[in-house]
Amino acid sequence: MDLYGLKIARLHNGVYFSFIYNTVQVILFHCLALIILKNKGITIKILKNKMILSLLIILMMGILGTISYYTYLSYQKYITVQNSTEVPLFVEHVESVLDKIINERMQSAAYLVTHTKDDFTKLKESRINTDHDLLELDTFIKQYNQFTFYSKSIQHSTEALELVRRNVDDLHDSYRDIFLHAY
C-alpha cells in the first residue's frame, strides 16, 4: 500500500512498519547511473564541485535521518502493541487469583461453621490452588518488568492472607471479624 510516498509493509502480527520507498528507489537509481557513467569514461564534474558535493552529503544525511525517524516510530508502535497484549494476560492472572481466594473464603466459612475434617480437607485443597495461582502471578510479574509496581501490593495481600489462614486454623471465636475485616 502506498501512502503519501511511503511504502507500508504489514507484518504477520499486525504491526505496520513504514519505509520511505520512493526516496530509497531514487537514491539507488542515481547511484546506479553514476556507476554506469563512470564506467563509460565520462568524468563527473558534479562531484568535483565542493558546493554540490556538500549539498549532496546534506541531502543524504537528511534522507538517512528521515528513514531513521520513521523506523523509530515503527518500533515504538511495535512496542506499544507488545505491551497492550501483555495487559490482558496480567488481568487474567489477577482474576484467577481472586476467584481462588473467593473459593478459599467459602471453604473457610464452611469449615468455621461445621468444624469437620472433610471441610478442612477441602479448605486445604483450595489453599493449595490459591498458592499455585499466586506463584504463577508472581512469576508473570517477574517476567514482565512493567508490572513490578504491583508486586508489593500482592506481597502485602499474601501476608494478610497467611494471617487470616492462621486465624481460621486456630478456630478463633471472632470468625465474624475474619470475614468482615480480613477476607
Q: Is the pLDDT of residue 13 over 50?
A: no
| Contact call for residues 97 and 134 (beta carbons, < 8 A) | yes
The DSSP bridge pattern shows strands 16-19 and 2-3 to be unpaired
Predicted confidence band of residue 56 (pLDDT cuts 50, 70, 90):
confident
Pair 149, 160: CB distance under 8 Å: no
The 3-state DSSP class for residue 13 equals coil
Q: Is the pLDDT of residue 57 over 70?
A: yes
Among candidate residues 23, 9, 21, 19, the one with its CA nearest the CA of residue 61: 23
pLDDT, position 71: 93
Most confident of 90-99, 158-167, 173-182: 90-99
Residue 183 has pLDDT above 90, yes or no: no
Quote the pLDDT of residue 159: 93
Counting Cα atoms < 13 Å in the Cβ hemisphere of 28 gives 6
User: Which of the four pLDDT bands, split at 50, 70 and 90, describes residue 29?
Assistant: low
Whether the Cβ atoms of residue 93 and residue 137 lie closer than 8 Å to each other? yes
Instruction: Express each pLDDT in 131-177 by its tens digit.
Output: 999 999 999 999 988 888 899 999 999 999 998 898 888 876 565 66
